[in-house]
């Protein structure tokens, strides 16, 4: 079973801000990263090392961490952002994924 928890779903209106949390024991001592997965596609890395964005990822995606909770924020959410989002907690030895959050843009 996953050691990292996320809310099952988040709903957001177009243009608004969506926030997805990721909580786990000792997450504060690990690096958090975030992935987006659309139906039928492989996951895409959005954020690594808590708050770093790979090249090519839109600036509306940002990451932060406070204590044992990491947060992915999508600012100005667009319809194309409707997808499943997963966090991952990396400590150099193991890297469990979170339970996943389905973001609906309504």
Partner 1 sequence: EVQMVQSGAELKEPGESLKISCKGSGYSFTTHWIAWVRQMPGKGLEWMGIIWPRDSDARYSPSFRGQVTFSVDKSVTTAYLQWSSLKAADTAIYYCARQADSGLDSWGQGTLVTVSS
Residue of 7, 15, 3, 19 whose CA lies nearest to 77: 15
> Which residues 6+ apart lie within 8 Å of 59 measured at CB?
53
Of positions 17, 49, 78, 104, contacts partner 1 by CB under 8 A = 49
Contact set for partner 1, span 23-42 (CB under 8 A): 31, 33, 35, 37, 42
Residue of 79, 81, 93 whose CA lies nearest to 34: 81
The answer to the question of residue 47 lying near partner 1 (CB under 8 A) is yes
Binding site residues, partner 1, CB under 8 A:
2, 31, 33, 35, 37, 42-45, 47-49, 52, 54, 84, 86, 88, 90, 93-100
């Amino acid at each position: 079973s996953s050691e990292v928890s996320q809310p099952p779903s988040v709903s957001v209106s177009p243009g608004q801000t969506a926030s997805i949390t990721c909580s786990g024991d000792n997450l504060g001592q690990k690096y958090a990263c975030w992935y987006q997965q659309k139906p039928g596609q492989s996951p895409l890395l959005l954020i690594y090392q808590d708050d770093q964005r790979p090249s090519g990822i839109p600036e509306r995606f940002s990451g932060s961490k406070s204590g044992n909770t990491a947060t992915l924020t999508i600012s100005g959410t667009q319809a194309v952002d409707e997808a499943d989002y997963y966090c991952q907690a990396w400590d150099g030895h193991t890297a469990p994924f979170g339970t996943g959050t389905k973001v609906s843009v309504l």
